Structure 1
Amino acid sequence: MQTISAARTRSIEQRLRLSLRVIALGDSLIYGYGDPEGGGWVERLRRQWMAAEQPGHILYNLGIRGDRVFQVSERLEHEFRNRGELRNQVPDLIILSVGVNDSARLGRPNGRLFTEFETFQEQVTNLLERSRQLCPVLFVGMVPVDETKMPFLDCLYFNHQDQYRYKEFTKQACQARQIPYLDIFDLWMKRGDAWVRSRLNPDGLHPNTQGYEALLQDVLNWEPIAQLV
């Protein structure tokens, strides 16, 4: 049986260490739901980074549809410890994107919040504190919904006012901890309602293929990611 020499093994490990090991952790925006062509912005970025002509960083998509902050927090350390590769190594960077599901109202437009705001504040603070103790962190914010398409799944009412409140707290919490935050909500809202609606699926919540293409460009143009490329 052919074996790999110790020198060859070290050479492979050295080349792999030139690439960052990145985990993207969050909800359906990380998972890429709604983009049958490209699989979402994380998958599109992963494909760019694994191109044979220009190999880049190693990116793991760890998005789960419907996740709220407490669920991402629950699986944070387990996901982190099992994505390092190479002799007990751990990831070099965490990308977070979560919070929109927490902001939904249940049953009616003025129903109770899926995650009460005070609870959300505690959970986001906990997630950020624990994440930054593991490795450097980046946070990609939520996209604005199409309010005219609510309710989602006949029971969840998302609206811009609640979205703004939840994303603003997250943004400020990130800034207080020197965690870069990409404010997708404000960036997209400035482009106008027609632009936003044209980049959302009929469910009014998830980006469509055009939306994920735009989201990828926004991420690539963001300085913390541009520096990696």
Structure 2
Amino acid sequence: MTMVALPVAQRVAALPKKVVAIGDSLVYGFGDPEGGGWVERLRRRSMAPESPGPVIYNLGVRGDGVQQVACRLEGEFRYRGELRNRVPDLILLSVGVNDSAQVGKRGGRNLTEFHVFQQHLADLLDQAQQLCPVLFVGMPPVDEAKMPFVDVLYYSHAQQYRYKQATQSACRARGIPYLDVFELWMAQAESWWRSRLSADGLHPNTLGHQTLLEHVLNWPSLQQMMAY
């Protein structure tokens, strides 16, 4: 029997989408020993051989700030093509909470000074958009009563809000969809979002990561990106 080769365009269309999720511990999934975090939970949804995808790569590194993510973005991206002359189809970015921390005391200097953060963020977003379409997943609120983290880093809602607003504004200026997790959680009762944080007050717990997954799956911007 003669095998009929599919047209190139049809073969390419049949390939599953490849998505790189890059950022800090929120991407890495710290705090969720059951499911490995929202990115891992998303990855497991398409692990069966018969699944059409997407193929998800978790490139989260605990403690990373915006500069560290920018330094490794393109190199990590280029190695996730799988097939010759293919590169990923989508970047999920999530970073900024570590940059917002104040060092040594409440009101101390930010781990990444605000104006430096803005510049590095602009560079990161511009670099990412040159590679492929980009979506940005924002940070959830911390539990201020549990600070300091590791005895030296003070995270606060005020600083989180400042840095996430700068991020949202930079994304808006570039047409990058931004999922405002901070506002989604803060719109709920305090008991609701506290129940979704680990004992350290910084990282989402298992329930928190499950909630993040639900946010992402219900996000129209992601649904649209996965549709074409």
TM-score (structure 1 length as normaliser):
0.92
**Superposed displacement of residue 63, structure 1:** 0.1
1:205 aligns with 2:202: yes
Match of 2:121 among 112, 124, 132: 124
CA RMSD of superposed structures (Å): 2.0
Percent identity at matched positions? 61
Alignment correspondent of 2:172: 175
**Superposed displacement of residue 51, structure 1:** 3.3
**C-alpha separation between the residues in 1 aligned to 2:89 and 2:135?**
11
Question: Residues 15 and 131 from structure 1, CA distance in 2 versus in 1: closer, same or farther, beyond 3 angstroms?
Answer: closer
**C-alpha separation between the residues in 2 aligned to 1:187 and 1:15?**
37
Alignment correspondent of 1:31: 28
1:151 aligns with 2:148: yes
Alignment correspondent of 2:134: 137
1:220 aligns with 2:224: no
Alignment correspondent of 2:69: 72
Match of 1:186 among 183, 187, 190: 183
1:47 aligns with 2:44: yes
**Superposed displacement of residue 55, structure 1:** 3.5
**Superposed displacement of residue 188, structure 1:** 0.5
Deviation track 1:156-215 (CA, whole Å, cap 9, x = no partner) reads 000000000100010010011000000000000001211111000000000000000101
Deviation track 1:24-82 (CA, whole Å, cap 9, x = no partner) reads 00000000001000000000000002235643210100000000000000001100110
Size of the aligned set, in residue pairs, is 222
Is there any run of 5+ residues in structure 2 with no aligned partner, and where? none
Instruction: Give the letter aligned to residue 67 of structure 1.
Output: D
**C-alpha separation between the residues in 2 aligned to 1:55 and 1:204?**
37
Question: Residues 70 and 142 from structure 1, CA distance in 2 versus in 1: closer, same or farther, beyond 3 angstroms?
Answer: same
TM-score (structure 2 length as normaliser):
0.92
- Please list every run of at least 4 consecutive aligned residues from structure 1 whose deviation after the TM superposition is greater than 6 angstroms: none
**C-alpha separation between the residues in 2 aligned to 1:195 and 1:167?**
21
